[in-house]
Amino acid sequence: MPSRSFHHLIVLTAMSLSILSCAEKDKQVSSIFHSNDENTDTQHLDMRELEEGGEIIAVTLSGPDTYFEWRGQCFGDQYELAADFARSKGVRLRMEIAHDSTELISKLQNGEADIIALPMPDTPDCILAAIQDSTKTDSPTHDRKALGWLTRASSQQLAEELNKWYTPDIKQKILAHRNQLIQKKIHHESHSHPRPKVKNAAGGIISDYDNLFQRYAALCRWDWKLLAAQCYQESAFDPNAVSWAGAQGLMQLMPSTARHYGAAENVFDPETNIRAAASLIIDLNKEFAEIHDEDERISFILASYNGGQGHVRDAMALTKKYGGNPHLWSDVRQYILALSDSKYYRDPVVKYGYLRGNETANYVSSIRSHWAYYSGIR
């Protein structure tokens, strides 16, 4: 991890309550918010220094209700709260994940994080702040113990600012936003099209964009009907589609991806959108060059396009750890699914945490099914 003296490049993208983009650096492929083993400056900073540096680091446990990354976007209640606090102080937020509470405390005390963004009990050498909940104790009277975020004991100003900022209304706002996203997702899924659309089967025409698929699939060294199948899965050939998570256009580019590939200004233009998606596919093809079987590699590329390269690499690491072949999709798919289980997404070899694995696995299999169907159209 780079020294705290450097400014980290993190892009804040507004999405209602300002869901932050996690993948400006990694092009919708993987999150830059993760634990790693590089050296970290252990200087302990308080609120004044954090504001001067323009960044605050929060560490939490990965999980569906705390923090996770999907398609380059960050989600989770604790993430949303941390983003709200950072925004209120005019600083950037960087999220880190730990595998357990011991690692949470260690990262805080070592200066690798400024806040533990997870409801925790009072802990020695820490200050309890932003109290969100309570839990029963083991005492005979069953007294309740407060649960809140933790800062270092030396970060008095930060603790005071957290207490000024946090109110129950803020948490209710976050929960309401989460429910709104869930409803959008349910609506989006209820309008999905399980059978691939074809404009003119007899004439061999799949869509209005076949010429673009043919042009840009050639750059990817893909069958153009595979690119068409992916587009159908993404948007059902609707160039104006916008997903519940903010993905846009025919190939459902996330905002950070569109910016990276120069498509942000004209993301709903079919050719611009498909060209940017093809560029991403080319980059992913290079990233997985160690998978020599080209047909196998396609599944890894598709999974990364959907769930993020970091999560796919995590699944490959789990596959290797448990005796499977990390270059065989049928083996890796099991651990893509397993990344929805805390036993696996908090495994020491996992760097990117929780994944909605069922969605990514189904995404790959659906596109392959569509591709097989389109391949029969002559």
Collapsed DSSP state (helix, strand, coil) of residue 76: coil
Secondary-structure percent of the chain, ordered helix, strand, coil, rounded to 5:
45, 15, 40
Question: Does residue 55 carry a catalytic annotation?
Answer: no
Given the residues 24, 55, 96, 234, select the one marked as catalytic: 234
Mark residue 353 as left, alpha or beta (left: phi above 0; alpha: psi -120 to 50; beta: remaining): left
- With contact defined as beta carbons under 8 Å apart, do 329 and 299 qualify? yes
Rg for the chain (alpha carbons), in Å?
Answer: 22
357-375 vs 294-307: helix crossing angle, rounded to 10: 130
Q: How far apart are CA 313 and CA 304, in angstroms?
A: 9
One DSSP character per residue, 77-139 reads HHHHHHHHHHHHHT-EEEEEEESSHHHHHHHHHTTS-SEEEEEE---TTEEEEEEEEEEE-SS
User: CB 55: neighbour CB atoms within 10 A?
Assistant: 19
The phi, psi pair for 294, rounded to 5°, reads -65, -35
Bridge partners for 92 per DSSP: 55
Q: Kind and range of the H or E element at 191?
A: none
Alpha carbon of 45 to those of 11, 35, 69, 96, 169: distances in Å?
22, 20, 27, 17, 28
Write out the catalytic residue numbers.
234
